[in-house]
Structure 1
Amino acid sequence: MVGAPSRRLLLAQAAALAGAALTPAAWTSALAQTRLAAYPFRAGIASGEPLSDGVVLWTRLVTDPKAMDAGMTRAPVQVRWEIAEDEGLKRTVARGERMAVAEAGHSVHVEVGGLRPDREYWYRFTAGGHASPLGRTRTAPRPDADVSKLRLAYGSCQKYESGFYAAHRALAAERPDLVLFLGDYIYEKAASDAGVRRHPEVACLDLASYRQRYAWYKADADLQAAHAAAPWMVMWDDHEVSNDYGNDQDRSPTPPAEFLKRRAAAYQAYYENMPLRRLAKPVGPQMQLYRALRWGRLARLAVVDDRQYRDRRTCDELSRGKMIPAACPARTDPDRSLLGAGQEAWLQRELRQTGARWNLLGQQTLMAEVIAPDGRVSNDGWDGYAQTRRRVLEGWRDAKTSNPVVLGGDVHTFFAADLAFEPGGKPVASEFVGGSIASLGRSKEIVQGMLAIQPDLKFGDGDTRGYGVVEITPKACEVTFRGVENALVQGSPVRDLAKFVVEDGEAGMKRA
């Protein structure tokens, strides 16, 4: 269309605006406050992205989580941090200062280096005369280390209105080595009367409203406890931006140029509120979040982004909501990708080059194929991009990748499945979807129908909220689904729902 701005120009303009907002020049002329009247750690603290010699420490200064400005003025605030080898912070190994500035939502990201591999540390922030809670973190083992175990907790989908965060309280008590969060950390729509508690009245459409939503969620004490208990690795799904979005579109008729502005605001807010490294800092509506973590020779975790780079949705003209005919030709078009060509190439290199015994793939949704009785599939995930899934399976097979295991979220239901080229075929990998922290799931009738249709689905529970725990040794990978008795009740107890085991060198799961 004549006169329409190009996508490249739109990306460049958004990038320039975002980059300017985060540069020191925006605040160097201001003086830092020395005293804050109100407690500034209402959003808690966190750590993440562990390496063998370092970790990221994070906080965001918030005095009023419900205020659009988080209760903070535009003035910068000096934040001190320290990290030690003991809970009493007597054996301090590093400390420093950072400036929290309004242009970055008063967030602080500290990339601590020079730490010892495979050990626990404790950390704390101070600002404006106040001290944060104490946080526990740890470093990864050396890449070449022989490691006896990895204990990882994972979850997703924590709609604030739908339930309380008893799952996070229990997860914190697990004291895992690592927490993997697979998306839908916030939900972007305006408040409704349907839940047990309310989040903000306005929908997230700009940077201020996304920032407010994160502060509101992060004020929850159980979520804060989970962040303070262990280092996190995070990946977004759709609700961090907009329901069912992919690339430059969501389900609304918003023009791509307008949607990219919203995506840029959402990505900046996401970076500000997560314990991420500088390499992940967004440039306008672009933010590279796919990456891998090595846990000695024992395990490698690759985390992929199935939202930002995907081709446009399949067969929308034939859809009923997000359900499309499984026979739609575009669904199996090899030129279409859920991950994008660049990320797919990166993932294939990871599959070929890994020397780990166990190879985990963290992705946002259910990877196994599910065709409904009426012959339809969802076009919002792997079923809408069937050849991308096939290429991943072929990559595992052709590279002889050792012990592939998939972890997922998004569908608000616990699922355990084997992944094969054909339904009921020889397993290539196993998949475990860890339910949802609070978001409501599928009914028992729908889940039982899915299990009846798809022989590779071995377990399903959509009635129970919770998370998963993965315990890896050289001999086996054991996955436990942990369910909250009643997520509508604050502090509800948690119990084991089901356990599964994948044995070293043997594709396919067993009930433990």
Structure 2
Amino acid sequence: MRDDHETTGLTRRALIAGAAGSAALLGVGARGALTLPTGLFTLGVASGDPTPDGMILWTRLAPAPLEGDGGMPPQTVPVRWQVAEDDRFARIVRQGTARAETAWGHSVHVDVTGLRPARAYFYRFLAGGETSAIGRTKTAPAAGAAVDRLRLCFGSCQKYEAGYYAAYRHMVAEDPDLILFLGDYIYEADPSPKEAVRLHKNPEPKDVAGYRIRHATYRLDPLLQAAHQAAPWALTWDDHDVSNDYADALDEKNGDPVAFLRRRAAAYQVFYEHQPIRAARPHGPDMRIYRTLDWGRLAQFQIIDDRQYRGPRACQPPGLLAAHQQYQTLIGPCADLTDPRRTMLGTTQERWLMDRLGDTSAQWNLLAQQTLMHQQSRIDAEHPERGPQYSADNWSGYPAARDRIFRRWAEAGTSNPLALGGDIHAFAAADVHDPARPDGPPIAAEFVGGSITSLFHDASFKQQAPANGLVYAENEIHGYGRVDLTPNGGEITFRGVDDARREDSGISDLVRFTLIDGRPGLNVEKA
């Protein structure tokens, strides 16, 4: 199915360098018609959420990206877009004009349709006498089509200050059909000079201008730009895209919900402004991003949001909420923990997911979610006498909600379910069992694909791995996961960079897992 090489000649040099500008290509938005600053396309281009006949194309005009308004005048700017079959744009197949509006940070989201399934295409934007870099994307296979192969890379947690993005250099070399990003695209804290390899450019963001500067800081990285130019992405968000460990309308310090929802509204708006996501514009602090993505009859991705709708944290000491004090991150067992009414996804999203797991006809079903689903106990380094504790912030703090998903896989006979996750800054792999038959054969497998750069120095993670049911656990190496699927089976490979503090870091395979159609669970191969 990977016949795109026959029609593409784009070099990696072109992916990173883009194309030269040409005012002659412009019909609207040329200089003279509209006075604009120079250097409009500093943040690159991106595509995402492919369908059989199109995808979302993205850019944002920002000649001064580290300013809250991007250095743009307060007026709507027409931006031309073009999609071609070749990187020289001799065979343009779709084109049009979009509006870059002040209220949305002069971002552009084009929902392209009318393309052919399972094909590679090239795209670019034109405005103010300038031409953007060239991006390469592809459409999904036709609905129900037989697909020989799918390759995707998945990752999360790319704290700018913790390292460089060498992982993306290697992702581009993998030539993936899709890049799946599972949360923490940015980190929101104040700059940390004592720990940082490189510094965030502004204080902790809490409004639209601040989040724009923080997103732009990340988007200016050339390796991240190259990864967006090389393949379509599908994304979800996690806590640091807004504020550490937030849950619905509460931040980690149980602050004023009204104030926090104002901040969440700003963060959601700017996330939308900077991502090629198939979603309606946010409405205040609300934005639906849970959705499915189909890849012929080979695979379906159920992409979920475990932050926006989750219920209160379990087992919290009385009085913390009223006093607006920091929530207790590690908890012991309590009656509240296993209350079947507790939710991670919210009633509406959970019902949607259960329906999708029951009606999917895909051979492989990949649950794209933010964190480790397995029940994970940890040892509190400051209070080891308390014994194993659970995180109140991930699925371990919402076990009934997690088990409902596992039971649905079993009851609905969902074909070849796999859970992909991030968040914990570690690689992890485990078998998944039916909660009604915990000693029975596995019904699925779970894979957490490390972090791009973010750190997790906790010796108890590996020490507790056998007790937590993890077949593989590694939290001192950074990287990503690669998934190769075919109708007969596939392979999941964890790839670790040698040193995330270096842009030119090498990479190696850490471990490989073989997937067998109709035989759930882990089959481990040493790398």
TM-score using structure 1 length: 0.91
In structure 2, what is the Cα distance between the partners aligned to 1:32 and 1:116? Answer: 37
Inter-partner Cα distance in structure 2 for 1:334 and 1:171? 40
* C-alpha displacement of 1:66: 2.1
Q: In structure 2, what residue type is equivalent to 1:69? A: D
The answer to whether structure 1 residue 341 and structure 2 residue 347 are counterparts is yes
Q: 1:386 to 1:322 in 2, by over 3 A?
A: same
Residue 489 (structure 2) aligns with: 476
Identity among equivalent positions (%) equals 49
Let me know the Cα RMSD of the aligned residues: 1.6
Q: 1:434 aligns with which of 446, 449, 461?
A: 449
- Counterpart amino acid of residue 427 in structure 1: P
Task: Determine if the alignment matches structure 1 residue 302 to structure 2 residue 309.
Answer: no
When residues 452 and 111 of structure 1 are mapped into structure 2, their CA distance, relative to the original with a 3 A threshold, is same
Distance 1:336 1:140 in 2: 36
User: CA 1:64–1:491 in structure 2 vs 1: closer, same or farther (change >3 Å)?
Assistant: farther
Q: Where does residue 394 of structure 2 map in the other structure?
A: 381
Equivalent residue letter for 1:121: Y
Aligned residues: 478
- Matches of 1:323 and 1:427, distance apart in 2: 28
Using the TM superposition, give the Cα deviation of residue 205 of structure 1 relative to its aligned residue in structure 2, in angstroms. 0.4
- Is the contact between residue 202 and residue 214 of structure 2 (CA under 8 Å) also seen in structure 1? no
Q: Is the 8 A contact 1:156 1:434 kept in 2?
A: yes
Aligned pairs (5 A) from 1:433-452: 433-443=448-458, 445-452=459-466
Is the 1:280–1:288 Cα contact (8 Å) retained in structure 2? yes
Give deviations 1:426-456, integer Å, cap 9, x for gaps.
312101101011111234x3232121322x2
Unaligned runs of 5+ in 2: 1-30, 319-325, 380-386
The 3 A distance-change label for structure 1 pair 60 and 378 is same
Counterpart check, 1:394 vs 2:407: yes
1:189 is matched with 189
Matching residue of 2:58: 58
3-state SS of the aligned residue for 1:316?
coil
- 2:202–2:210 Cα contact (<8 Å) kept: no
- Structure 1 residue 460 displacement after superposition: 1.1
Q: What secondary structure is seen at the aligned counterpart in 2 of 1:223?
A: helix
CA distance in 2 between counterparts of 1:170 and 1:316 reads: 43
* TM alignment of 1:303-322, pairs within 5 A: 303-317=303-317, 321-322=328-329
Q: Deviations over 1:332-381 (max 9, x none)?
A: 10111001111111111111101111010000000111123513111101
Deviation at 1:35, TM superposition (A): 4.9
Are 1:417 and 2:433 matched, yes or no? Answer: no
Q: CA deviation at 1:280?
A: 2.9
Secondary structure, counterpart of 1:372 in structure 2: strand
- For residues 32 and 242 of structure 1, the distance between their equivalents in structure 2, rounded to whole angstroms, comes to 43
Partner of 1:353: 359
Tell whether 2:515 aligns with 1:509. no
Distance 2:84 2:50 in 1: 16
Deviations 1:210-260 (A, max 9, x none): 111111110000000000011111100001110000100011242111111
Q: Does 1:407 align with 2:420?
A: yes
Q: Distance in 2 between matches of 1:419 and 1:34?
A: 58
Cα deviation, residue 76, structure 1 = 2.5
TM superposition score normalised by structure 2 = 0.88
> What are the ranges of 5 or more consecutive residues in structure 1 without an aligned counterpart?
1-30
Q: Is the 8 A contact 2:36 2:73 kept in 1?
A: no
* 1:491 maps onto 2:504 in alignment: yes
Code of the residue aligned with 2:122 in structure 1: it is W
CA distance in 2, matches of 1:168, 1:446: 29
Cα 1:312–1:88 change in 2 (3 A) is same
Over 6 Å off, 4+ runs: none
- On the 8 A contact 1:292/1:303 being kept in 2, the answer is yes
Show the counterpart of 2:248: 247
Contact preservation (8 Å) 1:48, 1:233:
yes
Task: Spell out, residue by residue over 1:177-218, the C-alpha distance to the aligned partner (whole angstroms, 9 max, x if none).
Answer: 111100000011111111100012311101110111111110
SS of 2:491's equivalent in the other structure is strand
2-structure distance, mates of 1:306, 1:259: 17
